């Protein structure tokens, strides 16, 4: 079923789309379902706070580092082949997570799972682009946004239900093992239905660039996660400082690769584009806020105030609903008033966080999940308004011919921001919590104070994003060839 990359539609394209969507759902579900189970995992495995951070941050970090290389590798060996390898690896990684009996094994399995997600994710949209003619692509791509929204909303509910009811005595393991039937279906159906694409055996990857970015991220993330448990020795700060020359070496390497017309992990001319760099920093701060927020919220509700996993999941649903509704609306606004939408969305998100923080500081011994409904809903609406507009605003300052590589780079920045934020926000939370518990502060008061302090980082990050957004030049009118491009929420 080899198929050239033309406008000729694939005869079973809608069935193939269902297969691709099942992989999207599995990946997105795994991102949102884990937070609800973290307190149960910590109790069952006796995991340390830093290990809990690695379970979430390790997945995101590996996903970010491997996203661009595997996107290119899909071009080299074939998108369908790379997709099937990725789904199979993700399914195996899910099984290893569910079978883990030690914290170290679970963290290693999560790293492998994130690595596998990076194999399949870049191929999904690329395959959809190949299968559908131009007049059907907008409709096809809209299903990806719907599936992502469905996974975001249902993840906390499914996770809470599986953990609380302990189906087949699996407990928290069920949140990973649920991927197995989905993965097996995607492998079998994908091999039969998804079309093949031409290979580019002459293309190469930028492996030195990959290695330098991986080293730099390790030097930054490792001390942020582990520094507290070691008492912040000098080598933690030395590692973070050492990341700077490695990043500088990466930029010089990409410059040399550009002069030689050799493969580049990140196109060097993008590094010279001031608007893109400023937008990248804006995206880094923006996406560093929510992953750590939800990790801390789960610990705050379940460990701090005894919420059952399902109740904890239900409590966070208003946020997901807000994101889903706002994303659907934003998708219909196109590329108008991007800067205004970014500023308004982030201001709304910040308002929700401020409201939440005021309520948290008023808590004594009990929490009303209804009191969290409106601030979380408002925060979700703000995030949904801002998230798509940020990508469009940043890419508006990039030449059309560089839009593909710039979009891929922004997605990698999004994941790196998430990993950085998990390490930083949860680090603030756990450090403050440990200090208060050691000083004899009551459990409820300690969790209230620690969570309220962690929320301060989000508010500071949003202030930075608003300033950077206002400093970006006014967006240009969309070019004719991109006006009808599909938008994925």
Q: Cα 41 from chain centroid?
A: 21
- Tokens coding 389: 């507009």
Please report how the helices 403-438 and 290-299 are oriented relative to each other, as an axis angle in degrees rounded to 10: 30
Please report the pLDDT score of residue 465 as a whole number: 93
- Tokens coding 176: 């990973």
Cα distance between residue 92 and residue 253, in whole Å? 35
Please report the pLDDT score of residue 266 as a whole number: 79
Neighbours of 371 (CB within 10 A): 15
Domain ranges of the chain: 9-195, 206-264, 270-489
* HEC assignment per residue over the chain: CECCCCCCCCCCHHHHHHHHHHHHHHHHHHHHHHHHHHHHHHHHHCCCHHHHHHHHHHHHHHHHHHHHHHHHHHHHHCHHHHHHHHHHHHHHHHHHHHCCCCHHHHHHHHHHHHHHHHHHHHHHHHHHHHHCCHHHHHHHHHHHHHHHHHHHHHHHHHHHHHHHHCHHHCHHHHHHHCHHHHHHHHHHHHHHHCCECCCCCCCCCCHHHHHHHHHHHHHHHHHHHHCCCCCCCHHHHHHHHHHHHHHHHHHHHHHHHHHCCCCCCCCHHHHCCHHHHHHHHHHHHHHCCHHHHHHHHHHHHHHHHCCCHHHHHHHHHHHHHHHHHHHHHHHCCCCCCHHHHHHHHHHHHHHHHHHHHHHHHCCCCCCCCCCCHHHHHHHHHHHHHHHHHHHHHHHCCCCHHHHHHHHHHHHHHHHHHHHHHHHHHHHHHHHHHHHHHHCCCCHHHHHHHHHHHHHHHHHHHHHHHHHHHHHCCCCCCCCHHHCCCCCCC
Would you write out the chain's pLDDT as a tens digit for each of its 489 residues?
Answer: 444 444 466 678 888 888 998 888 888 888 778 888 999 999 999 988 888 999 988 898 888 888 888 887 887 888 899 999 999 999 999 999 999 999 999 999 999 999 999 898 888 878 887 788 877 776 777 677 677 777 777 888 888 888 887 666 788 999 999 999 999 999 999 999 988 877 776 667 888 988 898 898 889 888 888 887 788 899 999 999 999 999 999 989 989 988 888 888 877 888 888 888 888 899 899 999 998 999 999 999 999 999 998 899 899 889 988 888 887 777 666 667 788 888 999 999 999 999 999 999 999 888 888 899 999 999 999 998 888 788 778 877 777 666 666 777 888 888 888 888 888 999 899 999 999 998 888 889 999 999 999 999 999 999 999 999 888 876 555 443 333 344 443
Contacts of 32 (CB under 8 A, 6+ apart): 151, 152, 155, 156, 159, 320
CB–CB of 225/50 below 8 Å? yes
From residue 265, alpha-carbon distances to 120, 282, 303 in Å are 18, 21, 42
Task: Work out whether the CA dihedral 331, 333, 334, 340 comes out positive or negative.
Answer: negative
Cα distance between residue 49 and residue 359, in whole Å? 25
Place of tokens 């520094």: 227
Q: Read off φ and ψ for residue 69, nearest 5 degrees.
A: -60, -40
CB–CB of 160/29 below 8 Å? no
208 HSE (CA, 13 A, CB side): 13
Please report the pLDDT score of residue 74 as a whole number: 83
Please report the pLDDT score of residue 124 as a whole number: 84
Q: What's the CATH fold of domain 270-489?
A: Growth Hormone; Chain: A; (1.20.1250)
Question: Cα 347–350–355 angle (5° rounding)?
Answer: 125
Contacts of 126 (CB under 8 A, 6+ apart): 71, 74, 79, 197
Cα distance between residue 294 and residue 296, in whole Å? 5
Please report the pLDDT score of residue 401 as a whole number: 62
User: Distance from first CA to last CA of the chain, Å, rounded?
Assistant: 30
Please report the pLDDT score of residue 123 as a whole number: 86
Cα distance between residue 443 and residue 433, in whole Å? 9
CATH superfamily of 9-195: MFS general substrate transporter like domains (1.20.1250.20)
Residue among 400, 65, 442 nearest 217 (CA):
65
């Amino acid at each position: 079923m080899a198929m050239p990359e033309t406008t000729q539609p694939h005869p079973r394209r809608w069935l193939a789309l269902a297969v691709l969507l099942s992989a999207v759902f599995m990946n997105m579900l795994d991102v949102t379902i884990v937070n609800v189970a973290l307190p149960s995992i910590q109790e069952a495995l006796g995991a340390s706070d830093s290990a809990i951070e690695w379970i979430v941050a390790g997945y995101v970090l590996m996903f970010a580092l491997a996203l661009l290389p595997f996107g290119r590798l899909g071009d080299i060996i074939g998108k369908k082949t790379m997709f099937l390898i990725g789904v199979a690896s993700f399914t195996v990684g899910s099984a290893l997570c569910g079978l883990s009996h030690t914290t170290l094994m679970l963290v290693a399995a999560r790293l492998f799972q994130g690595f596998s997600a990076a194999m399949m994710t870049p191929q999904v949209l690329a395959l959809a682009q190949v299968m559908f003619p131009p007049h059907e692509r907008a409709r096809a791509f809209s299903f990806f946004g719907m599936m992502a929204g469905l996974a975001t909303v249902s993840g906390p509910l499914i996770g809470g239900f599986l953990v609380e009811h302990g189906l087949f005595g699996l407990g928290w393991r069920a949140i990973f093992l649920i991927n197995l039937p989905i993965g097996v279906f995607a492998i079998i159906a994908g091999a039969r239905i998804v079309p093949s694409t031409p290979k580019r055996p002459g293309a190469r990857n930028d492996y030195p660039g990959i290695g330098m970015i991986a080293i730099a991220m390790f030097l930054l993330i490792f001390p942020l996660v582990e520094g507290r448990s070691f008492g912040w020795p000098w080598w933690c700060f030395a590692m973070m400082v050492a990341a700077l020359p490695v990043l500088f070496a990466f930029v010089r390497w990409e410059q040399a690769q550009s002069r030689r017309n050799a493969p580049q992990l990140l196109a060097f001319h993008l590094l010279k584009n001031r608007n893109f760099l400023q937008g990248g920093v804006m995206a880094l701060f923006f996406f560093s806020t929510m992953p750590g927020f939800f990790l801390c919220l789960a610990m705050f509700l379940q460990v701090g105030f005894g919420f059952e996993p399902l109740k904890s999941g239900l409590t966070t649903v208003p946020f997901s609903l807000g994101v889903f509704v706002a994303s659907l609306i934003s998708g219909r606004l196109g590329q108008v008033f991007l800067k205004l939408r970014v500023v308004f969305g982030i201001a709304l998100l910040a308002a929700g966080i401020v409201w939440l923080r005021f309520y948290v500081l008023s808590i004594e011994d009990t929490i009303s999940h209804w009191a969290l409904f409106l601030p979380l809903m408002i925060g979700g609406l703000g995030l949904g308004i801002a998230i798509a507009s940020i990508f469009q605003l940043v890419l508006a300052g990039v030449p059309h011919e560089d839009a593909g590589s710039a979009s891929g780079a922004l997605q990698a920045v999004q994941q790196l921001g998430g990993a950085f934020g998990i390490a930083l926000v949860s680090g603030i939370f756990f450090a403050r919590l440990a200090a208060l518990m050691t000083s004899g502060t009551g459990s409820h008061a300690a969790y209230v104070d620690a969570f309220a302090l962690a929320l301060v980082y989000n508010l500071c990050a949003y202030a930075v994003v608003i300033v950077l957004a206002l400093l970006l030049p006014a967006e240009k009118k969309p070019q004719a060839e991109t006006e009808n491009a599909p938008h994925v929420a």
